[in-house]
């Protein structure tokens, strides 16, 4: 009994540590007062005001656009990298390449941002592209630092896949490109979706790299939030954050229900197969 | 033990016919992975319509050899010809060969029908023909009702048959099978062995099977190549491999066998007389490989070829006092139902394994533990091994 008591205490403490800040944020988004830390009764007025705040809404739209495009690009590049690393066989320096693909994961964002800024400035001088800093540079920068996450996810999925599936397809007459699109791609699709969502979230969340490579008129949502905090937090930000939490939570909830259902279906199928076999 | 080939040879076998060109010719093929030599200068000729088994333990190089035939590995040295065409540089998708994988490698995101149709679709076969041929194949493997299922909705035996159908649907001239029955339980494996042979005979396809299971190789194949450490130890029909092993390795790998070390006393044509202290008697072997008098040899005798009796048997040719006859004490009896295994200890300390069919019921069996028994065998029973 004592053990269970300790464990449940640990559980509550851990989850409180994780979720109290978020709960607080949600509660204060319904605060009537302009002062963030003083409770003055329930109100939804900040949500109404949020809908008329063009700066915030534009920034949110821009962020979503950048996140969608960069996640898509990152999935393409990351899949190529993951595929090469897991299917190229053994070659000299394989470990080095494997390590190098994951290095950006632990690289301080400040350094990533700074080096990308230098690259974009240098490229503009040499080839005249990209023309100034803006949406393009942010998208490219986000692609750069999220593709390694995708590569890692895809690589681990490929490593867990039975290599003889691809060999069987080739044995039956499919050329390597066809094998990739008809066999490999459908089988690693879950990893691609996971990688895309991860890249999307990372891009949506990033403020450091975006600050380095953004230009006038291209301010992402995290940048707006971050800079508005300097002039005191508006409860509108709380409302916005609450909406984002809602969206994310719904997404996770739906995904886990779908996965649980598929798992149950698979188990039923297998049971049936065993009985029939 | 198995050991009865189910084929009845009716004509000259292709490997005995000098006029026959081999369908698959492997010439001095070597494959190395770094420092490891997986296949070491292997040469083999396999003929049309053969059911050929590559038999060996793990790491014997049998699977590597198969993968080189399929085109997944390139030989480090040597050449492979299929139907007279040099396979060097020809990728797997252009070879007239199909393979059945050990893991079956069924595409999990396709139905049974789509799996079987996959190979035909790659060749651009017309839709109606694909449908007919898939149906025909699924009928052949008795899965006609399962076409719409996904692989994970099938049992192991059904998956195995889908894999077989998929590898046969393109009507390859040569089918490679990597441990085709490895994942099945014993009962199903025995039944499937016969099914495989029937299908092979019906379709007239050359089969090359990789297996570690000697019983499987014995029942199914027309010929067996026993592999050990990347080298072929012996090639022959199941009977040849079992009855006339060339080396100690082959003799001990296939079935169980008793080995008596000794020295040749007298060699007369193909009759050899060996003196063995271990056996406690002289061993006369008819039809032996010639060995000069005085040379050290091993004599191998299968457990079922030794007669176990309480009294010395009378009237057996070639068996007499001190020749092909010795005595010992029964130390262990293992009752297997159809046969019993007796471990008999000779006065020299050597333990001899004897199997005898249980003609009478267990309780009435005349020989029991600690009985003194006579072991005897005919001159045709033994094999002389010089290596």
pLDDT tens-digit series, residues A228-242: 878 777 788 888 889
- Using a CB–CB cut-off of 8 Å, the residues of A that contact B are 162, 164-165, 167-175, 178, 183, 186-187, 266, 269-270, 272-274, 276-277
pLDDT given at position A50? 87
Q: How confident is the model at residue B12 (pLDDT cuts 50, 70, 90)?
A: low
Contact B105 A274 (CB under 8 A): no
**Out of B99, B103, B154, closest to residue A171 by CB:** B99
Q: How confident is the model at residue A104 (pLDDT cuts 50, 70, 90)?
A: confident
**Out of A183, A186, A277, closest to residue B155 by CB:** A277
Please enumerate in sequence order all residues whose Cβ is within 8 A of that of B309, keeping only pairs 6 or more positions apart, or say none: B373, B374, B376
Measure A67 CA to nearest chain B CA, in Å.
30
Number of A to B CB contacts under 8 A, please give it: 75
Lowest average pLDDT, out of A191-200, B185-194, B340-349, goes to B185-194
In a domain, A254, yes or no: yes
DSSP B323: B
Please enumerate in sequence order all residues whose Cβ is within 8 A of that of A173, keeping only pairs 6 or more positions apart, or say none: B93, B119, B122, B123, B170
Compute the mean pLDDT over every residue in chain A, rounded to the nearest whole number.
88
Compute the mean pLDDT over every residue in chain B, rounded to the nearest whole number.
89
pLDDT given at position B1? 39
Instruction: Name every chain A residue with its beta carbon within 8 A of the beta carbon of B166.
Output: 168, 172
Measure B373 CA to nearest chain A CA, in Å.
49
Contact A187 B101 (CB under 8 A): no
Dihedral in degrees, nearest 10, Cα atoms A78, A83, A85, A89: -170
In a domain, A195, yes or no: yes
- Residue extents of the structural domains in chain B: 14-96+172-250, 256-385
Taking residues B350-362, report their average pLDDT. 86
**Out of A164, A174, A269, closest to residue B153 by CB:** A269
The helix/strand/coil state of B267 is strand
Tokens 């964002």, residue? Answer: A109
Contact B112, B148 (CB under 8 A): yes
pLDDT given at position B7? 55
Alpha helices by DSSP H, listed for chain B, are 62-70, 112-122, 127-140, 156-168, 186-203, 214-220, 238-243, 248-253
Locate the chain B residue with the closest alpha carbon to A277: B155
In a domain, A270, yes or no: no
Measure A182 CA to nearest chain B CA, in Å.
10
Measure A216 CA to nearest chain B CA, in Å.
48
Neighbouring C-alpha atoms within 13 Å toward the C-beta of B92: 27
Q: How confident is the model at residue B3 (pLDDT cuts 50, 70, 90)?
A: very low
Locate the chain A residue with the closest alpha carbon to B175: A171
- What is the extent of the structural domain holding A62? 31-265
Contact A147, A140 (CB under 8 A): no
Lowest average pLDDT, out of A230-239, B23-32, B216-225, goes to A230-239
Instruction: Name every chain B residue with its beta carbon within 8 A of the beta carbon of A262.
Output: none
Instruction: Name every chain B residue with its beta carbon within 8 A of the beta carbon of A172.
Output: 93, 98, 118-119, 122, 166-167, 170
pLDDT at residue A161 above 60?
yes
The CATH class of the B14-96+172-250 domain is alpha beta
Locate the chain B residue with the closest alpha carbon to A184: B107
3-state helix, strand, coil split of chain A in percent (to 5) is: 80, 0, 20
In a domain, A11, yes or no: no
Taking residues B336-356, report their average pLDDT. 92
Locate the chain B residue with the closest alpha carbon to A274: B155
User: Which residues lie across from A46 on neighbouring strands?
Assistant: none
pLDDT at residue A192 above 60?
yes
**Percentage of residues in chain B having pLDDT higher than 90:** 61
Report the C-alpha gap between B179 and B182 in whole angstroms. 5
Phi-psi region of B83 (alpha: psi -120 to 50; beta: other; left: phi over 0): left
Assigned token pair, B126:
């017309």
pLDDT given at position A86? 85
pLDDT given at position A276? 61
For residue B73, how far is the Cα from the chain centroid? 24
Buried b (16+ CB within 10 A) or exposed e, A56-77: beebbebbeebbbbbbebbbeb
pTM: 0.82
3-state helix, strand, coil split of chain B in percent (to 5) is: 25, 35, 40
Measure B347 CA to nearest chain A CA, in Å.
53
pLDDT given at position A56? 86
Tokens 């005349």, residue? Answer: B366
**Out of B123, B152, B167, closest to residue A269 by CB:** B152
Instruction: Name every chain B residue with its beta carbon within 8 A of the beta carbon of A268.
Output: none
CATH code for position A142: 1.10.3720.10
Contact A173 B99 (CB under 8 A): no
What is the second-level CATH architecture of the domain B256-385?
A: Beta Barrel (2.40)
Assigned token pair, B267:
């060699």
Tokens 């159809």, residue? Answer: B338
In a domain, A183, yes or no: yes
Q: How confident is the model at residue B4 (pLDDT cuts 50, 70, 90)?
A: very low
**Out of A167, A266, A277, closest to residue B152 by CB:** A266
Contact B119 A165 (CB under 8 A): no
The helix/strand/coil state of B206 is strand
Question: pLDDT per residue over B51-109, tens digit each?
Answer: 999 999 988 999 999 999 999 999 999 999 999 999 999 999 999 999 999 999 999 99
Taking residues B203-226, report their average pLDDT. 92
Contact B105 A162 (CB under 8 A): yes
Instruction: Name every chain A residue with its beta carbon within 8 A of the beta carbon of B93.
Output: 170-175
Locate the chain B residue with the closest alpha carbon to A189: B109
Assigned token pair, A120:
């974009």
Contact A187 B109 (CB under 8 A): yes
Instruction: Name every chain B residue with its beta carbon within 8 A of the beta carbon of A276.
Output: 155, 158
Question: pLDDT per residue over B156-176, tens digit each?
Answer: 899 999 999 999 999 998 999
Contact B93 A173 (CB under 8 A): yes
């Amino acid at each position: 009994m004592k053990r269970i008591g300790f464990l449940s205490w640990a559980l509550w403490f851990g989850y409180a540590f994780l979720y109290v800040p978020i709960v607080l944020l949600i509660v204060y988004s319904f605060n009537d007062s302009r002062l963030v830390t003083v409770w003055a009764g329930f109100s939804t007025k900040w949500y109404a005001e949020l809908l008329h705040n063009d700066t915030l809404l534009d920034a949110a739209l821009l962020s979503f656009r950048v996140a969608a495009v960069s996640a898509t690009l990152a999935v393409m590049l990351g899949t190529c990298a993951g595929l090469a690393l897991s299917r190229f066989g053994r070659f000299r320096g394989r470990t080095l390449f494997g390590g190098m693909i994951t290095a950006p994961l632990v690289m301080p964002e400040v350094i990533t941002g700074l080096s990308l800024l230098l690259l974009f400035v240098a490229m503009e001088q040499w080839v005249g592209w990209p023309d100034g800093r803006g949406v393009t540079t942010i998208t490219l920068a986000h692609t750069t630092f999220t593709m390694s996450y995708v590569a890692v996810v895809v690589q681990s999925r490929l490593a867990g896949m039975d290599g003889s599936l691809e060999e069987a397809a080739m044995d039956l007459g499919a050329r390597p490109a066809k094998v990739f699109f008809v066999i490999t791609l459908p089988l690693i699709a879950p990893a691609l979706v996971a990688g895309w969502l991860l890249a999307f979230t990372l891009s949506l969340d990033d403020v450091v790299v975006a600050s380095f490579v953004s230009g006038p008129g291209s301010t992402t949502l995290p940048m707006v939030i971050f800079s508005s905090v300097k002039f005191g937090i508006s409860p509108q930000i709380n409302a916005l954050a609450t909406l984002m939490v809602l969206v994310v939570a719904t997404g996770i909830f739906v995904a886990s229900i779908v996965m649980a259902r598929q798992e149950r279906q698979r188990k039923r199928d297998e049971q049936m197969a065993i009985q029939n076999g | 033990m198995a050991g009865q080939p189910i084929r009845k040879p009716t004509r000259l076998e292709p490997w005995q016919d000098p006029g026959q060109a081999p369908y698959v010719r492997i010439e001095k093929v070597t494959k190395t992975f770094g420092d490891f030599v997986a296949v070491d200068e292997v040469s083999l000729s396999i003929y049309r319509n053969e059911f050929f088994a590559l038999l060996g333990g793990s790491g014997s190089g049998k699977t590597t050899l198969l993968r080189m035939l399929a085109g997944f590995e390139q030989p480090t040295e040597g050449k492979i010809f299929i139907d007279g065409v040099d396979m060097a540089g020809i990728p797997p998708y252009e070879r007239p060969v199909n393979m059945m994988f050990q893991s079956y490698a069924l595409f999990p995101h396709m139905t049974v029908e789509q799996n079987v149709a996959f190979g035909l679709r790659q060749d651009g076969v017309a839709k109606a023909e694909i449908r007919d041929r898939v149906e025909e194949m699924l009928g052949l493997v008795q899965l006609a009702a399962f076409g719409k299922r996904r692989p994970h909705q099938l049992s192991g035996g059904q998956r195995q048959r889908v894999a077989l159908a998929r590898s046969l649907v393109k009507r390859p001239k040569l089918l490679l099978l990597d441990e085709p029955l490895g994942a099945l339980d014993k009962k199903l494996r025995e039944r499937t062995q016969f099914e495989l042979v029937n299908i092979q005979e019906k379709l007239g396809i050359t089969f090359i099977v990789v297996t570690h299971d000697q019983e499987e190789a014995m029942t199914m194949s027309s010929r067996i190549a026993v592999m050990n450490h990347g080298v072929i130890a012996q090639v022959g029909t199941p009977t040849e491999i079992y009855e006339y092993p060339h080396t100690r390795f082959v003799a001990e790998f296939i079935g169980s066998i008793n080995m008596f070390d000794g020295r040749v006393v007298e060699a007369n044509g193909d009759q050899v007389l060996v003196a063995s202290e271990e056996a406690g008697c002289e061993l006369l072997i008819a039809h032996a490989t010639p060995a000069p008098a005085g040379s050290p040899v091993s004599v191998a005798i299968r457990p079922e070829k030794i007669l176990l009796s309480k009294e010395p048997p009378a009237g057996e040719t070639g068996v007499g006092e001190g020749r092909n006859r010795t005595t010992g004490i029964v130390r262990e009896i293992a009752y297997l139902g159809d046969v019993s295994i007796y471990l008999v200890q000779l006065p020299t300390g050597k333990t001899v394994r004897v199997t005898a069919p249980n003609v009478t019921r267990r309780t009435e069996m005349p020989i029991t533990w600690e009985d003194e028994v006579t072991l005897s065998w005919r001159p045709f029973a033994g094999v002389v091994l010089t290596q």
